[in-house]
Amino acid sequence: MKAQFVIAITLMIFVNFSSCKQEKEIAETNRIIEEATMVKTVKVANFSDSGIIKTMGIVLSDNEARPSFKTGGVIHKTYVEEGSYVKKGQLLAILILDEIDAQVKQAEEGLKKAERDYNRVKNLFADSVATLEQFQNVSTALEVSKKSVDIARFNKNFSEVRAPITGRIVKQIMKSGEITAPGNPVYVIMGVGKSDWRIKVGLVDAEWANVSFGDKAEIVLEAYPGKKFEGYVYDKASLGGNGGGTFDVEISFRNQPASLAAGLTADVTIISSKKDKFITIPIEALIRTNGTEAEIFTISDGKAKRVNIRIAKILGDKVAISSGMEGINEVITTGAIYLEDGEMVKN
């Protein structure tokens, strides 16, 4: 009887202790919940890409030439100035030929002497007066003299600069009286033919990946308001390097205005042949971004969890995400900018 009484008392003490412990745990949980930061979350959404990419670009000429002299010397005369239009093969500049003419004359006289020596030793060799070595030496000297003449005449023929393309002189680098070295450009010529014009646009990585050669493009030039021109994707850069986190894509015209100039701005709509699917989140969910990468917060076990994502494109007040959202169903919007990773939150 006494033993049963002791057991009953022990159970009552244990129950009371457990009850007190649970009450403390509940109170602590309630305190944590009350102290948790209030946030607002939004469910992620699915987005099917229409394949339309809108961007801006600059009109450029894809054909540029920098003609130069093949030999060095003093420039005698330049025949065209900046802004002039030139035709392929047109004479642009020549060197002072006095020194070059002297080199040609010297080489030709050396050839004449080599021919005389060759003929004389050849006859002596036939009479067994000259040795085989002497005959071989004059034969070699004759061949060397012939090559010297060829080189001198080549230099004279290339002591002028002619336009390699039809276009406009956009820059004159060297002028009459200046000394030039072989290969130094004298002019910069920009091609102005119909096939020379391109529009260069910059696309983020996901847009670049969705663009294929030959994709259609609609072009609206600010210089020709209200008019649309057809184009297509002509080239894609294989290396990003303009410092803006974008990749260059060149658009070529299918039909174009009668007059174009480098530097004109254009609104370009590319109709991609690829149709991708993305997850979208509100743009206010982004807490840090550089345009292509960003950080967001989601909730995991009642705590804020920082997640790194990659941006595919901006869709008004939403952002299409290319990677980083695996297994995430909601993101924090209101209050996200003030959170720390691991902070208790409630919504």
Mean pLDDT for each 10-residue chunk of the chain (347 residues)? 50 49 51 70 86 91 92 92 94 89 91 94 88 92 94 85 94 94 94 91 86 94 93 88 77 91 93 84 91 91 93 86 91 90 89
Structural domains present in the chain: 38-51+276-346 (2.40.420.20), 53-62+193-271 (2.40.30.170), 64-95+160-192 (2.40.50.100), 98-158 (1.10.287.470)
pLDDT in tens, 52-72: 899 999 999 989 999 999 888
Q: Nearest CA to 289 among 260, 267, 253, 313?
A: 313
**Backbone φ and ψ of 139, nearest 5°:** -65, -45
DSSP code string of 17-60: HHHHHHHHHHHHHHHHHHHSEE--EEE-EEEE--SEEEEEEEEE
Contact 201, 57 (CB under 8 A): yes
Torsion of CA 46, 324, 294, 343, to 10 degrees: 100
> Coil, helix or strand for 225?
coil
Q: Is the Cβ–Cβ distance between 261 and 216 less than 8 Å?
A: no
Cα separations in angstroms, 8 against 5, 50, 243: 5, 74, 79
User: What is the per-residue pLDDT for 238?
Assistant: 82
Helices 132-157/98-126 angle, 10° precision:
160
- pTM > 0.75: yes or no: no
pLDDT of residue 13: 53
pLDDT in tens, 313-346: 888 889 989 899 999 999 999 988 889 999 999 8
Instruction: Please give the pLDDT value at position 6.
Output: 46
Pairing of strands 167-172, 45-48: unpaired
Alpha helices in 158-244 (DSSP H): 205-210
DSSP letter for 336, please: G
Token output for 175: 């002028």
